[in-house]
Amino acid sequence: MLAQLIDDLTTLVQEIVMTFGAPGVAVIAFMENIFPLTPSELLYPLAGKMAYDGEASLFSVILAGGIGSIIGAFVFYHVGRYLGETRTRSFIARYGTVHLGRFRLSLFTLEAYDRAVVQFEKRGGIIVMVARWLPLIHGIISIPAGVVGMNLTKFMVYSFIGSVSWIAPTVLAGYFLGSQWERMLEILDIYEYFWYAVLAVVVLYYAVKRFRNRSTAPAPTQEG
């Protein structure tokens, strides 16, 4: 059922882009920042193919992708602003620890959150920009930016730079490949699978480390 849904979404993406051109690119760029299931890997190479066919200019499709992306980022930024620090800390305190029978595994603690906030306050612009190149993370990075109250203008500028620095090479690849633009999809698949694997390893490492720290922690002493 999920595979059929993705196939249907892929067809929809192609129809929107081919029908509406650069505005269609902006719409799909917005959607892929809001809805993770949007099959965005074909969007920019396909846009490059449109430019190759003379149906749109390279500049217009790159700009449209950047605009659609930052509109999506703007929405999630304000989700973070709405949540605020108090709600976020309450959520982490309640759901950051998973209970598996008699075992308790802390996946994300308030201490880890506080350390992340410090790093975000120091290097928020760079973090937002780099995150725009990463699958899954590129959309949700806007939420912590809103939670910590990152300057909105700074956030939008870094989001746009990060988005365009990802969009432009993939659009150009589709343009230069021309009728063979779908070859770029294979490269993007490898890129995405690599980062999924990295993310899985990081999560597993962190979970194992937390479990070991808990297992080796000395038992509390009883007085009296």
Average model confidence (pLDDT) across the chain: 78
Q: Answer yes or no: is pLDDT of 208 > 90.
A: no
CA–CA separation, 159 and 144 (whole Å): 13
Q: What is the dihedral of CA 71, 72, 77, 82, to 10 degrees?
A: 110
What's residue 111's pLDDT?
Answer: 76
CB 157 within 8 Å of CB 20: no
pLDDT at 5: 53
Q: Who wins on pLDDT, 73 or 49?
A: 73
* Model confidence pLDDT, tens digit, residues 121-169: 888 889 899 888 887 778 778 888 888 888 999 999 999 999 999 899 9
Cα–Cα distance for residue pair 136/133, rounded to 1 Å: 10
pLDDT score at 212:
65
Where exactly are the structural domains of the chain?
Answer: 2-215
Residue 126, classed as helix, strand or coil, is helix
DSSP 179: G
Which residue has better confidence, 173 or 6?
A: 173
Question: By percentage, how much of the chain surpasses pLDDT 90?
Answer: 17
Mean pLDDT is lowest, of 47-51, 71-75, 151-155, for 47-51
